[in-house]
């Protein structure tokens, strides 16, 4: 499965440009990535328009300290699980119901992303 479809890439880049131009930009995440064998989860809002390898959002590696930041798509694509049979996946059924900052507040209080 593609972590990002061409349609999502367009939306992510548009959000990246908006974030660059507006320091108060607080979009809703466009999708959720997750580790199907562990607790890592990412709620992604944008791609860096200058370096499309860098995705931005709420990152939770399952260690109790979720944070807003940047993740390398190249590194996520390289993760292989279960002897190479699985990788990071995009949750096709997840839909955001609040802004990134709202998810971050809840995640910091809970020590994990609460969706």
DSSP label at residue 25: -
What is the rounded distance in angstroms from the CA atom of residue 36 to the CA atom of residue 88? 7
For residue 112, pLDDT over 80 is answered with yes
DSSP label at residue 82: G
Query: Which tops the pLDDT comparison, 99 or 39?
Result: 99
For residue 102, pLDDT over 80 is answered with yes
Q: Within a 10 A sphere around the Cβ of 39, how many other Cβ atoms?
A: 13
* Beta bridge mates, 55: 47, 71
Average pLDDT, the chain: 94
pTM: 0.93
Report pLDDT for 27.
Answer: 97
Report pLDDT for 49.
Answer: 95
Read off the tokens for 91. Answer: 């949750």
DSSP string, 20-49: HH-TT--PPP-EEEE-TTSS-EEEEEEE-S
Read off the pLDDT of residues 63-86 as tens digits, 9 standing for 90 and up: 999 999 999 999 998 888 888 788
For residue 96, pLDDT over 90 is answered with yes
Q: Which residue has the tokens 């349609």?
A: 7
Report pLDDT for 1.
Answer: 58
């Amino acid at each position: 499965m593609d972590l990002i479809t061409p349609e999502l890439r367009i939306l992510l880049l548009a959000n990246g440009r908006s974030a660059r131009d507006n320091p108060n930009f607080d979009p809703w995440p466009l999708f959720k990535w997750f580790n199907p064998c562990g607790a890592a989860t990412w709620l992604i809002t944008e791609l860096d328009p200058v370096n499309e390898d860098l995705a931005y959002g709420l990152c939770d590696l399952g260690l109790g300290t979720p944070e807003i930041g940047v993740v390398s798509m190249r590194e996520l694509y390289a993760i292989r699980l279960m002897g190479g049979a699985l990788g990071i996946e995009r949750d096709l059924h997840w839909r955001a119901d609040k802004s990134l900052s709202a998810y971050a507040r809840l995640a910091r209080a809970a020590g994990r992303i609460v969706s």
